[in-house]
């Protein structure tokens, strides 16, 4: 007798394996992000607010924690205002704001990142690494090099992230 093993399921967006109920081959988090993306598109952006941004940040954090591809999850949802999610998501994840973290975690000036055909601006390098799902254990060393150079490329997962820091 064949038994269906739920652990064989893979999300078609973030690629992680999961064992919970799925809809259209999506994990719960990617399905929720797609629902939010659809809601924002249908309302012409009128439904977008800080609560929705916070929810998007929490869903991205859950995807990253469970081993999913955060960049793929972001890239598959075009109507979510990703530039407004990172600072809210960072505060939700750590309970602190960028200003609280300046001494230890972030570049003190805005950071711009280009990867593929996408780009974004972030309040700090800490927020950028968190939002893009980059390894936080490499952030501090990269921060020092970026501060010195002003422009630097970080390669991760086969993608080149071109960082530019302003104000040094």
pLDDT for 92 equals 42
Closest by Cα among 163, 102, 92 to 134: 163
> What tens digit of pLDDT does each residue of 97-130 get?
444 444 334 444 578 888 888 888 888 888 888 8
Closest by Cα among 75, 80, 17, 15 to 54: 80
Q: What is the pTM of this model?
A: 0.49
Phi, psi values for residue 103, rounded to 5°: -70, -30
The CA-based angle 143-148-152, given to 5 degrees, is: 65
């Amino acid at each position: 007798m064949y038994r269906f093993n739920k652990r064989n399921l893979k999300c078609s967006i973030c690629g992680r394996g999961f064992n919970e109920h799925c809809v259209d081959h999506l994990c719960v988090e990617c399905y929720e992000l797609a629902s939010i993306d659809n809601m924002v598109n249908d309302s012409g952006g009128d439904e977008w607010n800080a609560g929705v941004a916070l929810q998007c940040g929490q869903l991205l954090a859950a995807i990253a924690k469970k081993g999913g591809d955060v960049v793929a999850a972001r890239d598959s949802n075009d109507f979510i205002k990703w530039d407004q999610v990172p600072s809210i998501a960072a505060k939700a994840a750590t309970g602190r704001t960028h200003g609280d973290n300046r001494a230890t975690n972030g570049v003190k000036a805005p950071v711009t990142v280009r990867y593929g055909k996408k780009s974004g601006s972030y309040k700090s390098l800490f927020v950028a690494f968190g939002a893009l799902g980059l390894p936080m254990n490499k952030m501090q060393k990269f921060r020092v090099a970026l501060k010195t150079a002003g422009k630097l490329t970080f390669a991760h997962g086969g993608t080149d992230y071109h960082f530019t820091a302003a104000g040094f």
